[in-house]
Amino acid sequence: MVRLIASLVGAAFVLVLGIALFGSVSGAITDPVAPTAESVYHLHPKELELASNGVFGKFDRRQVQRGFQVYKEVCSACHSLRLVAFRDLQKIGYSEPEVKAIANQWVIEQPTINPETGEAATRKNIPSDHFPSPFANEVAARAANNNALPPDLSLITKAREEGTAYVHSLLTGYRAQSPAMLKAFPDAKTPEGLHYNPYFANLNIAMPPPLTSDGQVTYADGTKASVEQMSADVSAFLTWTAEPNLEARHAAGFASILFILIFCGLAWGAYRNVWRDVKH
């Protein structure tokens, strides 16, 4: 009797689920969701070819250094890099004296306490320090950015889908809204204080265009600093900050694959040697 009741309950449960599924599918077919400006005009990130792409990728240290220069002169005014220390810059080709100079000359100093008075104070950065935040706290950051909180960029290329391409597309994607879009979706007009960017999820972003003109940064190596070039370079730098051990990971992967191949060869040879006299 108990089994019969359990079977009936189970059958009823399956029937209800089937009816609900049928209703959802038929509703989606007969009454599809109306398109929105986001679903129609949101763009997929465009491709960005970097030396670090792919399984054989390695960082182009000259490009990563140029990207650091863009971050230093443009992005650091709003965005933190709290998971990266100044001494990490040695991994992209800076010497120890250069790292000391960069840390010492960094515009934003480290918060500290005056040991004599106990009052809040600041001190020069040293190589072991992490990059300081441009704002004292979240409230100050929002107050300076139209109530939007600038994200930390340490892991931004890992935190976003197709992160490197997304960052590059976002930086170069600012534009005016098309008349066709405003005609089709009158309510999609960009609100005051925001900026239209089709690579951003809801098309409107609080961050104004950070790269506004060619030559905004004067590269130390003489590379022409077009907006496209600066965007690609800072995207390469942020790819490095998110995964500084990428080259070591690739090398370890190749070593592991080579070991497995050699081991399989030796195992096969041992197998053939042990069973060579056995007739099937």
**Pairing of the two strands 204-205 and 110-113:** unpaired
d(CA 103, CA 129): 8
Res 120: pLDDT: 84
CA angle 239, 242, 247 (to 5 degrees): 70
| Residue 88 forms part of a structural domain | no
Beta bridge partners of 196: 204
pLDDT at 272: 85
pLDDT of residue 264: 94
pLDDT-based confidence at residue 20 (cuts at 50, 70, 90)? low
Bridge partner list, 110: 123
11 found inside a domain: no
Q: What percent of the chain has pLDDT over 70?
A: 93
Read off the amino acid at residue 219.
Answer: Y
Burial classification of residue 195, based on how many CB atoms lie within 10 Å of its CB (0-12 exposed, 13-18 middle, 19 or more buried): middle
Nearest partner of 239 among 99, 57, 96, 102, judged by Cα: 57
Confidence check: pLDDT of 55 > 90: no
Indicate whether 232 belongs to any domain: yes
Report residue 1's pLDDT band, with 50, 70 and 90 as the boundaries: low
177 falls within a domain = yes
Q: What is the pLDDT of residue 235?
A: 97
61 located within any domain: yes
Partners of 202 in the β-ladder? none
What CATH number is given to the structural domain containing 186?
1.10.760.10
How many domains is the chain partitioned into structurally?
A: 1
Confidence band for 87, pLDDT divided at 50, 70 and 90 = very high
Q: What pLDDT was estimated at residue 19?
A: 75
Round to the nearest angstrom and report the end-to-end CA distance of the chain: 57
State residue 28's pLDDT score: 53
Query: So what's the pLDDT on residue 42?
Result: 92
Tokens 């997304």 correspond to 166
Measure the CA–CA gap between 255 and 154, rounded to whole angstroms.
Answer: 28
Number of Cβ within a 10 Å radius of residue 219: 17
Question: Domain range for residue 203?
Answer: 37-80+152-247
Q: Is 264 annotated as a binding residue?
A: no
How many Cα atoms sit within 13 Å of 96 on the Cβ side? 1
Residue 111, domain member (yes or no): no
Highest averaged pLDDT of the listed ranges 16-20, 110-114, 181-185, 231-235: 231-235
Is 230 marked as binding a ligand?
no
Determine the residue type at 54: G
pTM of the model: 0.83
If phi over 0 gives left and psi between -120 and 50 gives alpha, with beta otherwise, what is residue 14?
A: alpha
Q: What is the average per-residue pLDDT within 137-147?
A: 91
- In this prediction, residue 77 has a pLDDT band, given cuts at 50, 70 and 90, of very high
Does 279 map to a domain?
Answer: no
**pLDDT tens digits, one per residue of 150-186:** 999 999 999 999 999 999 999 999 999 999 999 888 8
- Give SS3 for 196: strand
pLDDT over threshold 70, residue 31? no
pLDDT value, residue 166: 97
Helices and strands (DSSP H and E) totals, the chain: 10, 4
Report phi then psi at 26, rounded to 5: -65, -35
| Dist. CA 61–CA 92, nearest whole Å | 5
E strands, the chain, in order: 110-113, 120-123, 195-196, 204-205
220 occurs within a structural domain: yes
Give dist(CA 48, CA 69) in Å, integer: 19
